[in-house]
Homo-oligomer: A and B are copies of this chain.
Amino acid sequence: MGHCSIRNWGEVMHVLILGAAGMVGRKLVQQLSAVKTIGGREITAMTLFDMVDAQKPEAAWPVSIRSGDIAERSDIDSLLVHKPDVIFHLAGVVSGEAEQDFDKGYRVNLDGARALFEAIRAQDYRPRVVFSSSIAVFGGPYPEIIDDAFLAAPMTSYGTQKAAVELLVSDYSRRNIFDGISIRLPSVVIRPGRPNKAASSFFSGILREPLNGEEAILPVSRNVRHWMASPKSAAGFLIHAAGLDTTKLGGRRALTMPGISVTVGEMIDALGRVAGADRAALIREEPDEMIIKIVGGWPHNFDAARALQLGFSPEVSIDDIIRDYIADELGGRLG
């Protein structure tokens, strides 16, 4: 029984997820295990790769858990010997770390992607590759609404690495080395877990902490606007990309996803509506000039027309994002 590319329909559908232990990776594994198909084809096998062992999902097919270094060609080669039909590439160093450790960021985020792409080329087959990119590829000054023809001018090393890999995805795809697509994810809100040192941490925190019955600090004004999508939507975007007819993309294989543009004030109002005024009252305003400055440089509104035309489902409302968090992370009840 041979392995087939996604274009040649067959009985085998092997999915490889690089970065499966991360926040979006876990959500992706969970959703794939539930929907069981990609582009109408039934999943038959799954390999989960990360630096550490990913959690084994409840899945209707064999799951292989592997760990290693994305920038080590031998680690990647061993993942590709079975020629997975769909490869989700979510592995990488996050924004803050790529900024702190220049060499590591380039080694993992740029060289790692290239090692993967070269390993695919060496296997001489044409899988679907879904690369998880980010709106960090953009930099100001911005127009009021950013459209699909706006330049990538990153303001961080992380954004630079994402933008460079997007270029490689397009070129390797044009050369028929693989069939790739880059998905520019919005800021993911509500991130589960604890606050972290990221400047964006409070966007999740001002919802997550009150939902857990804890106080949250708001370091910016209520009229700050942000472009976001839930973890569930982010995973859904990646799954839709994996099944997409890529001939519709033309030469432009990087797509900005349809998040929602919401002000902090609107987030707090939604928290009050969904969880009660007493929860919204747990937010304490404590302006932080540094965070105000960083967040002020971020893009906050997009017209994701191409993605919508290609059938990516838009995020609906901040109310739904809050309800999903309560359902998925809190077992349906406020903490």
Contact = CB atoms under 8 A, between A and B. Distances in A.
A287 interface: no
Contacts of A143: 149
Interface stretch (A14-22, A75-83, A164-172, A273-281): A164-172
A252 interface: yes
A55 B220 CA distance: 60
A251 interface: yes
Interface of A: 102, 139-141, 143, 148-155, 157, 160, 163-164, 167-168, 170-171, 174-175, 250-252
Nearest to A102: B175
Contacts of A140: 251
B154 A170 contact: yes
Contacts of A175: 102, 157
A102 B150 CA distance: 28
A251 B153 contact: yes
Per DSSP, chain A at the interface is loop
A250 B148 CA distance: 22
A163 B168 CA distance: 10
Nearest to A106: B114
Contact of A149 (B150, B155, B164, B170): B150
A171 to B, nearest CB: 4
Contacts of A164: 164, 167-168
Contacts of A160: 167-168, 170-171
Given A102-B175, A175-B102, A153 B170 contact: yes
A149 B152 CA distance: 9
A163 B155 CA distance: 16
Given A153-B170, A155-B251, A167-B167, 4 more contacts: A139-B251, A150-B151, A153-B251, A160-B171
Contacts of A141: 250
Contacts of A252: 139, 151, 153
A165 to B, nearest CB: 9
A26 to B, nearest CB: 30
A151 B251 CA distance: 12
A169 to B, nearest CB: 10
A226 to B, nearest CB: 20
B154 A151 contact: no
A134 to B, nearest CB: 14
Contacts of A102: 175
